Amino acid sequence: MTQTLSRLPALTPPAAELPVRAEALRAEVREFLADERAAGSWTPRSDVWLSGWDEDFTRRLAARGWLGMTIPAEYGGHGASPLDRYVVTEELLAAGAPVAAHWVADRQIGPSLLRHGTDAQRRKYLPGIAAGEVYFGIGMSEPDSGSDLASVRSRATKVDGGWSLTGTKVWTSGGHRAHAFFALVRTSPPEEGKRHAGLSQLIVDLHADGVTVRPIPLLTGAHHFNEVVFDEVFVPDDMVLGDVGSGWTQVTGELAFERSGPERFLSTFPLLAALVGELSGADLGAAGRRQLGSLVARLWSLRRMSLAVAGSLASGEAPELAAAVVKDLGTRFENEIIDAARLLVSVPPDPGAEGGYARLLADAVLHAPGFTLRGGTNEVLRGIVARGLGLR
Amino acid sequence: MSAHTDLPVVDPDLVELATSVFADADVDGTGLDTALWDTLEQTGLARLAVAEDAAGSGGSLLDLAAVLVEAGAGAARVPLAETDVACRLAAAAGLDVPVGPLTFALDRAGALTVDGDTVSGTLARVPWARSAAAVVVLTGGSVVVLDPATATLVEGTNVAEEPRDTLTVDGASAAVAAAPDGAESEFALWAALSRALLLAGAARGALTRSVGYAGEREQFGRPIGRFQAVQQQLALAAAEVAAGGAAAGSAARVVVRDGVGAPTAELAVASAKVRTGEAATEVARIAHQVHGAIGFTREHDLRLTTTRLWAWRDEDGTDGEWATRIGDLVLAAGADGLWPLVTA
Ligand SMILES: Cc1cc2nc3c(=O)[nH]c(=O)nc-3n(C[C@H](O)[C@H](O)[C@H](O)COP(=O)(O)OP(=O)(O)OC[C@H]3O[C@@H](n4cnc5c(N)ncnc54)[C@H](O)[C@@H]3O)c2cc1C
């Protein structure tokens, strides 16, 4: 039998190495974090980019120049490379530092404004983002639109000088503390066979008249999620992001920044580090050492993949397939850490503990379902991979 | 952007050449593909990363890494990895090796006794020994270049039907030299890295074949690849292929950057062998499930990559052994040392 091998698309971009300069930056960040921890300014937690909201800490990071790093200086940023930002964010996440307040603004809002925003919009928001003063939410999901995001029903109708917005967004992380979000809304009715047309992104001030923000408690009881209801909210014309009708393309571009970063495999890293602490000095058999080693091999490999995607994004490419793969593997890895942490150390999770292993474990267990849902579910991501393989 | 900073880049023409050479090979036979080996020698691929003054092509390890991935994907019946490691080991000990395919054995158990320049003992499961011009053995503090003709050879294979022969020598004369310091751990890493690269290629080969098959095989009036259940399985396999490929490729880069003796290289290579080994299990499982009964036959080409995945995951250190080693490194680093270890 002769071989008839067709070719597969590249599943990962070429390996990337961090510039020497980024490694020097890493040393600075570690020193800063060691000082912060010594001062007891925070306790390491699982899933801090979701739940660790600390505006003072955010401002201290900004003072070091570690927010809005890739934003050009003329908009208050630092004009650094995305790989520099990568190093800072992975160090913060590994330390379990409270980064939630600025997370969305720093990760995706800055880049989106730079790509699609007007000069006035950039001047209005970017300096505040870089200063750690302006926080954003994500206004995509709705009660009847989750994975099928293009089916959103929130509608904006044209009025004098702007748009009148009515509808409901849901699962809005930090919506009760954020200043604004980009709402994905319908600006013209759906057309047969063109469901991605007629969508737009509006920059909505979450304190505007007609906006109601209601809490939805998480499994832990914490207030993180919100429902955001718009009742004829006036959005001025100059608060349309990009072009009217281009919302779908813009949103999918925004998601590319959301999928392959270090937060997609480090959400439970503080628990893994604590696990190593519990096991050091204990009499761990070969099976335990093997399980631990296998986890760290996965971590090492995931980080290399994620860095390769970051390198590719930094050179202006959009490696959608590779980003989906990182998120699928990475979020499953976050769950594997929890399994190992439970099986190798017999400490029941305790949500009431002040800190320590039992608390890290409790937070991880109760946050775990979200890992494989947020930012596009793993099943949906595998659909993207299947399309990349030419199967659909 | 490949800073740290002047790493060589892989020559795309070379990869193209390797791909076509392996694609043209006769994959169905067993034992050494002598025609393929001759082509590899003529094109300079046979000793690609061996220094020119040792009759090699003087290419970079990154070039070799890319070629090994292609060899794995093409299920090439040649001791390409073994020849490279054998040449490296002989050169490190200042010994000469003959032309032709070579093989390598790491005698951790001390099965061989060296007395001056005579050797005695039994080496089990030596890859390709029956076809090798020489076996380069690292045993205790010595490196031995052994002519298989001086040994009694009992043929054996791995589950992919690749030769894994047992050699017995009784006072055979051989070239012997002192092994350099640290040789045992370094050559375990060279062997594991080569195997990880081959695994990454074989995993990719199995996925390529499975995606192709899913597009051709029709049931219920449509190609099975149109079923979401099949798509999701193939997407999982693709993620494993991506992870294994990234791990093995990155480990090769770390070895080029820091040297095989560096602590970073140990974690990198061990991670690559573990990750490709784990990927092997998952990819082979999915590839066979997608192929149905036909893939379960010796007549179908799927076996060429899947049986290699099963064989290679357990060779040059199983994923379990390397994972245990990483576990030890991690425990030694402690809670605060884990992150610096991973990011070094
Ligand atoms: C922690 C967290 C934070 C979030 N923060 C925000 C936020 O700030 N802003 C925001 O807008 N949204 C946010 N979300 C919402 C998130 O984007 C959605 O949860 C996600 O898109 C999935 O939508 P859904 O929850 O409605 O599930 P559904 O789409 O209803 O899916 C339910 C199940 O069906 C599966 N499924 C659906 N369609 C398919 C298909 N075509 N093929 C196969 N399987 C399918 C899914 O994989 C899933 O398993 C957040 C979610 C979480 C968990």
Q: Flag whether pLDDT at A186 surpasses 50.
A: yes
H-type alpha helices, chain A: 20-38, 48-51, 55-63, 82-94, 100-104, 110-116, 119-130, 247-259, 269-279, 286-314, 320-344, 356-371, 378-388
Q: β-strands A136-139, A180-186: how paired? A: parallel
Bridging pattern class, strands A240-241 and A199-205: antiparallel
Whose CA is closest to atom 24 on ligand 1?
Answer: A146
Which chain A residue has the Cα nearest residue B301?
Answer: A1
Helix (H) or strand (E) holding B308: helix B302-312
Residue A2 has pLDDT above 50, yes or no: no
Query: What's the confidence (pLDDT) of residue A1?
Result: 37
The torsion of the CA quartet A296, A302, A304, A310, rounded to 10 degrees, works out to -150
Residues B226 and B319 grouped into a single domain: yes
Q: Which domains are assigned to chain A? A: 20-134 (1.10.540.10), 139-245 (2.40.110.10), 260-388 (1.20.140.10)
C-alpha distance from B303 to closest chain A C-alpha (Å): 12
pLDDT-derived band of residue A230, with 50, 70 and 90 as boundaries? very high
Asked if residue A275 has its Cβ within 6 Å of ligand 1, the reply is no
Instruction: Compute how many other C-beta atoms are within 10 angstroms of the C-beta atom of residue A146.
Output: 16
**Nearest CB to A299: which of B212, B300, B342?**
B342
Say yes or no: B268 and B139 in one domain: no
Contacts of B253 in chain A (CB under 8 A): 15, 17
Q: What residue's CA is closest to ligand 1, atom 52?
A: A374
Q: Answer whether A203's CB lies under 8 Å from A182's CB.
A: yes
Please determine, for residue B6, whether its predicted confidence score (pLDDT) is greater than 60: no
Percentage of chain A beyond pLDDT 70 is 98
Contact A206, A232 (CB under 8 A): no
CB contact (8 A) between residue A15 and residue B234: no
Chain A window 228-267: which residues touch B at a Cβ cutoff of 8 Å? none
pLDDT of residue B3: 39
Q: Using the 8-state DSSP alphabet, how is residue B225 labeled? A: G
Query: Both B136 and B207 in a single domain?
Result: no
User: How does residue A6 score in pLDDT terms, banded at 50, 70 and 90?
Assistant: low
Compare A2 and A255 and report the one with higher pLDDT.
Answer: A255
Q: Could you tell me if B251 and B301 lie in one domain?
A: yes
3-state secondary structure of B284: helix
Considering chain B, what percentage of its residues have pLDDT values greater than 90? 93
Average pLDDT, chain B: 95
**A306 has pLDDT over 90:** yes
Nearest residue (CA) to ligand 1, atom 44: A379
DSSP character string of A92-124: HHHTT---HHHHHIIIIIHHHHHHH--HHHHHH
Dihedral-angle region of residue A29 (phi above 0 means left; psi in -120 to 50 means alpha; beta otherwise):
alpha
CB of A220 closer than 6 angstroms to any ligand 1 atom: no
Dist CA A173 CA A24 (whole Å): 33
Question: What per-residue confidence (pLDDT) applies to A253?
Answer: 79
For residues B167 and B272, state if they share a domain: no
Query: What CATH number does the domain containing B150 carry?
Result: 2.40.110.10
How many distinct structural domains can be found in chain B?
2
Last residue of a domain, one of B180, B196, B219: B180
Return the minimum-mean-pLDDT range out of A221-225, B26-30, B159-163, B209-213. Answer: B26-30
**Which residues of chain A from 347 to 386 reach within 8 Å of chain B, CB to CB?**
379, 381-383, 385-386
In the structure encoding, which two tokens stand for residue B286, read together?
Answer: 């999915």
Q: What is the CATH number of the domain that holds B206?
A: 1.20.140.10
Q: Of B160, B180, B200, which residue sits at a domain end?
A: B180
Answer yes or no: do B196 and B336 share one domain.
Answer: yes
Confidence band of B8 (pLDDT split at 50, 70, 90): low
The answer, yes or no, to whether residue A8 has pLDDT greater than 60, is yes
Task: Write out the two tokens for A304.
Answer: 């290399």
| Residue A292: predicted pLDDT | 98
pLDDT at A257: 67
Q: Which of B137, B156, B180 is a domain's end point?
A: B180
Whether A305 has its CB under 8 Å from any CB of chain B: the answer is yes
Ligand 1 pocket residue status of A226, Cβ below 6 Å: no
> What pLDDT, in 10s, does the model give residues B149-186?
999 999 999 999 999 999 999 999 999 999 999 999 99
Q: Say yes or no: B252 and B315 in one domain.
A: yes
Average pLDDT over residues A218-242: 97
Is the domain of B216 the same as that of B242?
yes
Span B70-74, average pLDDT: 97
- Which residue's structure tokens are 């967004």? A169
How far apart are the CA of B235 and the nearest CA of chain A, in angstroms?
5
Assess whether B231 and B164 both reside in one domain: no
B231 and B167 in a single domain? The answer is no
Which ligand 1 atom sits closest to the C-alpha of A378? 47
Q: How far is CA B254 from CA A54, A295, B59, B260, B273, in A?
A: 37, 20, 17, 8, 14
Poorest-pLDDT segment among A181-185, A314-318, A341-345: A314-318
Q: Are strands B102-107 and B134-139 parallel, antiparallel or unpaired?
A: parallel
Residue closest via CA to ligand 1's atom 51 equals A374
Amino acid at B313: R
* Structural domain that includes position B129: 92-180
Rounded mean pLDDT, A25-41: 97
The pLDDT score that the predictor gives to residue B175 is 98
pLDDT in tens, A92-125: 999 999 999 999 999 999 999 999 999 999 999 9
* Residue B178 Cα, gap to closest chain A Cα (Å): 33
User: B72 in a domain, yes or no?
Assistant: no
For residues B90-110, average pLDDT:
97
Q: Which of B28, B273, B330, B336 to mutate to test the interface with A (most CBs of A within 10 A)?
A: B330
* B219 and B192 together in one domain: yes
- Give the model confidence (pLDDT) of A111-164 as tens digits: 999 999 999 999 999 999 999 999 999 999 999 999 999 999 999 999 999 999
State yes or no: pLDDT of A3 exceeds 90: no
φ, ψ (nearest 5 deg) of residue A83: -75, -30
Which parts of B217-295 fold into alpha helices (H)? Answer: 228-258, 263-291
- Is residue B254 domain-resident? yes
- Residues in Cβ contact with A383 at an 8 Å cutoff, skipping those fewer than 6 apart: A392, B228, B231, B232, B235
Residue A345 pLDDT exceeds 50:
yes
